[in-house]
Amino acid sequence: PLSEDTVITYAWDWDGDGSYDETIEEATATHIFDAAGVYEVALKVTAFDNVEAIDTVTVTINDINEIPTANPGGPYTGIAGEEIAFDGSASSDSDGQIIEYIWDFGDGSTGSGASPTHAYTEAGEYTVTLTVKDDGGSLSSEVTTTVTVEEVAKEEITEKIYPVNTSPITNSTSVIGYTEVTVDQLVKIFENRNSTKVDWAKRIAPIYIEYGKLFNIRADIAWAMMCHETGFLEYTGDVSPDQNNFVGMGATGDGVPGNSFATE
């Protein structure tokens, strides 16, 4: 081999075509390849006495991985307590494929996948963030959208309960003073609605009548209030099962709709 002290030129063939593209006097060189591929790079060194030596090396040039683009869709709207479907399928990667979707729903919860669902427990305006990752390991920039979550719509009670020999119950009807009412009268409002909770209503109606007599409270009004607050035992109303007292009035807190009637 030639001694570095004796070498006067270094000739580089960058593309392996047998033609030397660059001749310099320095031992080190840099080169930018125009395209990805495998190249046989040759180096020819020439000494003072015109003695030459040639060697080759294989150089692999990879494509530059393009950064993917996240698209969270939206804006979205929904109801507190109900699942909201998100769609990030419009996200893209120009030179590969997306392998991971990273969602931040703005309420401390996260998700994954192109089309996740999420339920917010409270109404409000939330900022949703999506980041995607491609098969080259690159992460996109964070892209945001908004979701507006509204309170559960409270169902208006339009049916009227008619106790024996009295007028329909209104907002001004006094709750004080027991008035005779039957289980059938109380349950009828559920039957009129084709409710799936008729059997439950039949089981608890006698309790309202019993305690109405005990405390001199109108069981029919207490029953009407229970229907309003619990959404007719569907718990889409104001309170959850453990927050409702006997008469259905004076609930102990703001409930989370959507609970099932697990206890009586």
Phi, psi of 47 (to 5 degrees): -95, 180
Domains 7-61 and 76-150 share a fold: yes
| pLDDT tens, N- to C-terminus, the chain (264 residues) | 556 567 789 999 999 999 999 999 998 999 999 888 999 999 999 988 888 899 999 999 988 889 999 999 999 999 999 999 999 999 999 999 999 999 999 999 999 999 999 999 999 999 999 999 999 999 999 999 999 999 876 555 455 554 444 555 555 666 677 778 899 988 888 888 788 888 888 988 898 889 888 888 888 888 877 777 777 776 655 555 555 544 444 444 444 544 433 333
Domain range 7-61, CATH class: mainly beta
Query: What is the CB neighbour count within 10 angstroms for residue 46?
Result: 17
- This prediction has a pTM of 0.47
Joined together, the tokens standing for residue 153 give 């719509």
Q: Are 193 and 232 in contact (CB under 8 A)?
A: yes
Query: What is the CB neighbour count within 10 angstroms for residue 131?
Result: 19
Joined together, the tokens standing for residue 216 give 């001199």
First-to-final CA distance of the chain: 96
Query: What is the CB neighbour count within 10 angstroms for residue 54?
Result: 11
Domain ranges of the chain: 7-61, 76-150, 154-264
* CATH for 76-150 (2.40.10.10, 3.40.50.970, 1.20.1250.20, 2.60.40.10): 2.60.40.10
Query: What is the CB neighbour count within 10 angstroms for residue 150?
Result: 13
CA 202 to chain centre: 40
Q: Quick one: which of 9, 85, 67, 86 has its CA closest to 43?
A: 9
